């Protein structure tokens, strides 16, 4: 087995482990994990849980004779969240703290910072943060969509060094081990590319929403930001015995860089892109070689209907070179593209800034 060390970990636990029958919470697979969490905390480490299971926990309490509607699933989640939290609390003699998030919470910079501060204070007060998507209010445009990627976002906002994804198989295999008896476990992945994605099959169970692909997506978000990621089998008690010994009884995705700043992580991974700005080669050189801000004079074309403060991609000759927060909306930026900064006020009748995107609000790819 590979070895690893860590100080702050986000542990993602799916519905298949929390509610294996699909309609109520169970402790069948959680006792060994709970012991691992307690022992890790006693060793001075920080643990944050990302827990599925609220909808599954509430399903038996909301009787439907057809495919559940969005409102019915939200009712299940509202009832099930208490049941899911109570199920976790019974394993610990320290408090559990519920943190409910939507994708909008993560995309908004102020709320993102508030989440980071809240998680820090929960840990400082010796409680266990348990993060879940706020399914009682989230509809499709507000949803992260799966708790593997929610685990990745939580690891980013919490500035963790490790994401541990507990699955119902041992890790990433050369083929689907449920269908191919010759499939072998891949103990370590140093680079996530198209070859790795091709190994991902569909969802493993009917209870959860995430298959191996979403786990690899989560690993890619984390490893590119300096956060090592593990996929392990949460149904086996010996998994957590090995983790306590610093061993990886599954697949380790190694971190490809040192941790980046929290603002850079937010810009890169969390913020939804609202439009695109095409720039000339001169602007590209200024951004890439000099670390300059983007001036209106270097802009060739504006695409999309974005507002001031929205995230946009910066492109040159069809290649995305940066992402940043635009200081003008799309309509006004169209008027001032190609213009000198000193001409902005005369063209628009006002001037918010002499740059289109400030270098402090930009991430270069």
| Tokens 């892109």 belong to residue | 273
- Nearest in space to 298 (alpha carbons), one of 351, 354, 347: 354
Q: Which residues contact 194 (CB under 8 A, 6 or more apart)?
A: none
Closest Cα partner for 336 from 301, 291, 288, 286?
Answer: 301
Annotated binding site for ATP: 12, 167-168, 209-215
Q: Where do the CATH 3.40.1160.10 domains begin and end in the chain?
A: 2-264
Q: Which residues are annotated as a binding site for substrate?
A: 52, 135, 147
CA–CA separation, 260 and 265 (whole Å)? 7
Binding site residue list: 12, 52, 135, 147, 167-168, 209-215
pLDDT in tens, the chain (365 residues): 889 999 999 999 988 888 887 767 788 889 999 999 999 999 999 999 999 878 877 777 777 767 778 788 888 888 888 988 999 999 999 999 999 998 888 887 778 878 988 999 999 999 999 999 886 666 555 466 688 999 999 998 998 999 999 998 899 998 888 788 888 999 999 999 988 988 885 444 433 334 788 999 999 999 988 899 999 999 999 999 999 999 999 999 999 766 566 667 777 777 788 999 999 999 999 999 998 999 999 999 999 999 888 899 999 999 999 999 899 999 999 999 999 999 999 999 988 789 999 887 888 98
Please provide the CATH number assigned to the domain covering 272-364. Answer: 2.30.130.10
Identify the H or E element spanning 64. none
Tokens 């190994």 found at: 199
* Alpha helix segments (H runs only) across 43-145: 54-59, 70-89, 103-107, 109-124
Close Cβ partners of 192 (under 8 Å, ≥ 6 residues apart): 216, 219, 220, 223, 253
Q: Per the structure block, which two tokens stand in for 182?
A: 């010759």
pTM higher than 0.85, yes or no?
no
The rounded distance, in Å, linking the Cα atoms of 40 and 44 is 7
Q: How much is the mean pLDDT over the chain? A: 87
* pLDDT tens-digit series, residues 220-271: 999 988 899 999 999 999 999 999 999 999 999 999 766 566 667 777 777 7
DSSP 271: S
Neighbours of 281 (CB within 10 A): 10
CATH class of 2-264: alpha beta
Tell me how long the chain is: 365
Question: How many CA atoms, within 13 angstroms, populate the side-chain half-sphere of residue 154?
Answer: 34
What is the rounded distance in angstroms from the CA atom of residue 52 to the CA atom of residue 131? 9
Which parts of 224-356 are beta strand (E)? 228-233, 247-248, 251-253, 273-279, 299-304, 311-316, 319-325
CATH 2.30.130.10, the chain: domain bounds: 272-364
Q: What is the largest CA-CA distance in the chain?
A: 71
Closest to 217 (Cα-Cα) out of 207, 231, 232: 231
């Amino acid at each position: 087995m590979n070895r690893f060390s860590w100080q702050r970990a986000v542990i993602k636990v799916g519905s298949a482990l929390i509610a294996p029958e699909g309609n109520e919470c169970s402790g069948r697979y959680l006792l060994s994990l709970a012991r691992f969490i307690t022992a890790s905390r006693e060793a001075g480490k920080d643990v944050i849980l990302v827990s599925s299971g609220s909808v599954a926990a509430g399903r038996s309490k909301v009787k439907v004779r057809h495919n559940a509607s969005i409102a019915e699933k939200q009712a299940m989640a509202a009832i099930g969240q208490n049941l899911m939290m109570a199920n976790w609390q019974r394993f610990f003699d320290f408090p559990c703290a519920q943190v409910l998030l939507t994708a909008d919470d993560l995309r908004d910079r102020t709320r993102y910072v508030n989440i980071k501060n809240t998680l820090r204070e929960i840990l400082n007060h010796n409680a266990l943060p348990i993060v879940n998507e706020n399914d009682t209010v989230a509809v499709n445009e507000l949803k992260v969509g799966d708790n593997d990627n929610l685990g990745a976002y939580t690891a980013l906002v919490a500035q963790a060094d490790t994401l541990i994804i507990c699955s119902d198989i041992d890790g990433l295999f050369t083929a689907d081990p449920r269908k191919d008896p010759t499939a072998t476990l891949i103990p370590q992945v140093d680079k996530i590319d198209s070859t790795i994605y091709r190994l991902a099959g569909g969802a493993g169970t009917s209870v959860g929403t995430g298959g191996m692909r979403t786990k690899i997506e989560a690993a890619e978000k984390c490893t590119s930001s300096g956060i090592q990621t593990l996929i392990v089998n949460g149904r086996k008690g010996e998994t957590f015995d090995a983790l306590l010994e610093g061993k990886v009884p599954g697949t380790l995705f190694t971190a490809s860089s040192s941790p980046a700043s929290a603002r850079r992580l937010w810009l890169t991974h969390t913020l939804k892109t609202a439009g695109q700005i095409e720039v000339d080669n001169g602007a590209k050189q200024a951004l890439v070689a000099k670390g300059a801000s983007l001036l209106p004079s270097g802009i060739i074309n504006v695409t999309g209907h974005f507002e001031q403060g929205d995230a946009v991609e910066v492109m040159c000759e069809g290649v995305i070179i940066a992402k940043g927060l635009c200081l003008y909306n799309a309509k006004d930026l169209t008027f001032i593209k190609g213009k000198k900064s000193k001409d902005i006020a005369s063209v628009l009748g006002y001037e918010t800034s002499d740059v289109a995107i400030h270098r402090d609000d930009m991430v270069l790819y």
